[in-house]
């Protein structure tokens, strides 16, 4: 039986990118459908009636929503190759914990404040943003990937924010390379993987879009 | 007697998060040592075991600490594979359970607790959000005895707070979210859930919860607006 896999996505979304990376890691063929978020179509509204958001994975007609839920789903269905989560329950718990940390700390929401606020509010956002990344840097330590020797769930959860770093750095007036060198080294290591390189858009393209999307100068 | 396999749980009596873990352990018949943590005076043990969030619950098994209640639930299910299996076997059903657990946390729980602790316009706003979220939960439980189907599972445990904590918050905050007329299916599920032999014997005393949440509500309502992320 051939699988029918469709991904409803929006190219600059760091959440959508996570699913692209996971599908690429597993070598799954799928149909990518770019969504117009200002003009949501029937399929999106039908497949994600609760949140009306991307990404949505449609596998043989059934929808899966929420990027990290989708990544786990992909790992469980296509469980015969390139595992994204470790097999040991404690290691799996650690992976889920750190992916949840990335979500909880709403890295995107804090990052958004970097370009949509000024003065004291922006300074506070910058401080919070860097604290989050420094915590992640400590967790990474000297490991090549968050999962250890192999690229996995936490790496997927976090790497997609890399495409937005230029936006954050430019508006926040700081350099990630200077503040969190280990994170940049880790990101560059991840980008050497084809699954990541072909799933993440160029930082400058994202910057141009952010200017447009958020009406920034 | 401490052994390699012994289980310890750091919890707080009024926390719905730590109770989730107790329900899961008890359902699986896993023995554990419960350590009550004073969350207003955090112990060095807690800070050592959960340095990132400094919160309960923390499960300690084989000398290793696991934090975040949903992460702990999955760990329990994967480590103690005996019945009942908490998460569904089918990957699509598992994805749905995880999706709704997050929804319950991010949309319903935050709005409900927030509505309890707020005043005026903010209270109205959060109440509206909570009721909207409850409508979605009602759709999900319609026609089912438990979220897990015929027996209690991960999603029932994740949403279990609705059956016992929510009525307390409604009383403390003078609000109504789970109206039995508007939400008959959820109301019926809540009754079934509370009647489960394991659940009914593992609930914090209501007469202690009311004054506790009154205090918490007073504290939060005194904060400048914007503390709630919804």
Query: What number is the ipTM of this complex?
Result: 0.95
User: What residues of A are in the B interface, CB distance below 8 Å?
Assistant: 50, 59, 62, 64-66, 69-70, 72-73, 76-77, 89-90, 92-94, 96-97, 100-101, 106, 109, 135
pTM for this predicted structure: 0.96
> Cβ separation of B79 and A96 shorter than 8 Å?
no
| Per-residue tens of pLDDT for chain A, all 217 residues | 689 999 999 999 999 999 999 999 999 999 999 999 999 999 999 999 999 999 999 999 999 999 999 999 999 999 999 999 999 999 999 999 999 999 988 677 787 888 888 899 999 999 999 999 999 999 999 999 999 999 999 999 999 999 999 999 999 999 999 999 999 999 999 999 999 999 999 999 999 999 998 887 6
> Cβ separation of B75 and A76 shorter than 8 Å?
no
pLDDT in tens, B77-132: 999 999 899 999 999 999 999 999 999 999 999 999 999 999 999 999 999 999 99
**What mean pLDDT is predicted for residues B149-175?**
97
User: What residues of B are in the A interface, CB distance below 8 Å?
Assistant: 52, 61-62, 64, 66-68, 70-72, 74-75, 78-79, 91-92, 94-95, 98-99, 102-103, 136, 229
CA triplet A30, A35, A39: central angle to 5 degrees? 155
> Cβ separation of B75 and A73 shorter than 8 Å?
no
Q: In B, which residues are within 8 Å of A88 by CB distance?
A: none
pLDDT in tens, B8-52: 999 999 999 999 999 999 999 999 999 999 999 999 999 999 999
In angstroms, the Cα distances linking B124 to B137, B153, B225 are 20, 33, 13
> Cβ separation of A100 and B70 shorter than 8 Å?
yes
The model's confidence at residue B4, banded by pLDDT at 50, 70 and 90, is confident
Write out the DSSP string of B177-222.
Answer: -S-TTT-HHHHHHHHHHHHSHHHHTS---HHHHHHHHHHHHHHHHT
The model's confidence at residue B1, banded by pLDDT at 50, 70 and 90, is very low
Phi-psi region of B116 (alpha: psi -120 to 50; beta: other; left: phi over 0): alpha
pLDDT in tens, B51-72: 999 999 999 999 999 999 999 9
| Predicted local confidence at residue B72, as pLDDT | 98
| Predicted local confidence at residue B225, as pLDDT | 75
SS3 of chain A: CCCCEEEEECCCCHHHHHHHHHHHHHCCCCEEEECCCCCCCHHHHHHCCCCCCCCEEEECCEEEECHHHHHHHHHHHCCCCCCCCCCCHHHHHHHHHHHHHHHHCCHHHHHHHHHHCCHHHHHHHHHHHHHHHHHHHHHHCCCCECCECCCCHHHHHHHHHHHHHHHHHHHHCCCHHHHCHHHHHHHHHHHCCHHHHCCCCCHHHHHHHHHHHCCCC
């Amino acid at each position: 039986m051939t699988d029918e896999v469709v991904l409803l996505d929006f190219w600059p979304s760091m959440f959508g990118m996570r699913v692209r990376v996971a599908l690429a890691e597993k070598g799954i063929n799928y149909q990518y459908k770019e969504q117009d978020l200002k003009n949501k179509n029937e399929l999106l509204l039908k497949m994600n009636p609760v949140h009306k958001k991307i990404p949505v994975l449609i596998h043989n007609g059934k929808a899966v929503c929420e990027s990290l839920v989708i990544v786990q789903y992909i790992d469980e269905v296509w469980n015969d190759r390139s595992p994204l989560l470790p097999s040991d329950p404690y290691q799996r718990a650690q992976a889920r914990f750190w992916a949840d940390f990335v979500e909880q700390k709403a890295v995107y929401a804090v990052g958004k404040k970097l370009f949509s606020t000024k003065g004291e509010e922006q300074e506070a956002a910058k401080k919070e943003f860097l604290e989050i990344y420094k915590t992640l840097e400590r967790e990474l330590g000297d490991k090549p990937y968050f999962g250890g020797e192999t690229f996995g769930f936490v790496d997927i959860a976090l790497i997609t924010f890399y495409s937005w770093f230029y936006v954050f750095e430019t508006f926040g007036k700081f350099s990630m390379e200077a503040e969190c060198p280990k994170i940049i080294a880790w990101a560059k290591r991840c980008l050497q993987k084809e699954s990541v390189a072909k799933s993440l858009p160029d930082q400058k393209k994202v910057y141009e879009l952010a200017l447009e999307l958020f009406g920034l100068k | 007697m401490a052994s390699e396999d012994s289980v310890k749980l750091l919890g707080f009596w009024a926390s719905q998060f730590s109770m989730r873990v107790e329900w899961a352990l008890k359902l699986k018949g896993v023995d554990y040592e419960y350590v009550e943590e004073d969350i207003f005076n955090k112990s060095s043990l807690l800070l050592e075991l959960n340095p990132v969030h400094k919160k309960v619950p923390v499960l300690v098994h084989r000398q290793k600490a696991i934090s975040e209640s949903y992460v702990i639930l999955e760990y329990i299910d994967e480590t103690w594979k005996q019945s009942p299996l908490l998460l569904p076997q089918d990957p699509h059903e598992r994805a749905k359970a995880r999706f709704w657990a997050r929804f319950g946390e991010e949309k319903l729980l935050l709005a409900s607790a927030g509505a309890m602790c707020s005043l005026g316009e903010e209270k109205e706003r959060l109440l509206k959000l909570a009721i909207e979220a409850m409508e979605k939960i009602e759709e999900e439980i319609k026609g089912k005895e438990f979220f897990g189907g015929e027996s209690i599972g991960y999603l029932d445990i994740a949403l279990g707070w609705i059956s016992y904590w929510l009525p307390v918050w409604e009383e403390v905050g003078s609000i109504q979210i789970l109206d039995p007329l508007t939400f008959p299916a959820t109301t019926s599920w809540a009754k079934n859930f509370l009647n489960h032999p394991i659940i009914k014997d593992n609930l914090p005393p209501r007469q202690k919860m009311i004054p506790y949440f009154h205090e918490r509500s007073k504290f939060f309502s005194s904060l400048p607006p914007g503390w709630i992320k919804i």
